[in-house]
Structure 1
Amino acid sequence: MQHNNLLVEACQIVSAIVPVNLATAANNGDWVSLKNFDRVTIVVFKGAGTAGEDPVITLQQATAVAGTGAKALNFTRIDKKIGTQTGIGAFTTATQAAANTHTDADSAEAEGLFAIEVQASDLDVSNGYDCVQVSIPDAGTNAQIGCALYILRNARFAGAGLPSAIVD
């Protein structure tokens, strides 16, 4: 294990959802492939909005970065920081029954930072699924700015640079 390398030398970072008003439309993230990586951390960051307009974080899996054969990708754990981000030092871990969506009933009116870990082995690999997408459907009628990133790590093959995660 290398302890003195840069984050960008150890992880592939990909934009999922660029900063957008989550209340304007369905916000479907780009697809990323885990074919060359062991895991991805999906990070969702949002500003405060209006009470009752809680964003729903949804995960799907597919057999290609075009979204081929898309279906639910269930998860049971999500780590989050809800509230003024400069005042929250640690993540709170929440567990849920296996589902491909998560809604935090207190997050609409507060700032939020969410992290969901997905291992490549969590996907339906026996049927060729190796791609992941995060989406956040329309979050209501009032403005709520948000974005999402994929942080892929543990590249499966050593090389001069990290492989792309946006191609099959």
Structure 2
Amino acid sequence: MSGCSHRFRPRGLCRGAALTLVFGCALATAAATGSLPQDPDPGPGPQTRAVSSTVAPVDRDEIEDAAAEAEADGKSVKDAAEEVVSRSGDRWGAVYDEREYEEFEQALDGTYTGVGLSARRTGGGDVTVSRVQPGGPADRAGIRAGDLLRTL
């Protein structure tokens, strides 16, 4: 007698198929008869906000006029410009001062804003400078790779 005379059959294949069929029939019957559990008060659907057709483009001259008037009155130029933009109905409209706009442009360009150094923790738990960006604030301050950083 060579080889094994046992027949290998997947155990429970028929049982699994039968249970799947029974479950599928029960689910289909429940759905067809409306017997599935439902939320008693579904409430409003997902909240959506239609874009209003009353959004008017912001007139640059109007912003400049409001800013000039605010400056003459000794008030905040930025607040006056923000007021004009907010009245337009454009919820994405924004007013930036020169510094904020520069930071915004850097963020869009992918420019990293920081002190210009990379740090790492050593095996002893100290934090050291691993790299200094040439021309960055850390380089101008005289920080060099390998310097130990003090932690508070």
Q: Do the two structures share a fold, i.e. TM-score over 0.5?
A: no
TM-score, normalization: structure 1? Answer: 0.16
Q: Could you say which structure has the greater relative contact order, defined with CA pairs below 8 angstroms and 6 or more residues apart? A: 1
Give 1 or 2 for the bigger CA radius of gyration: 2
- Structure with greater helix percent: 2
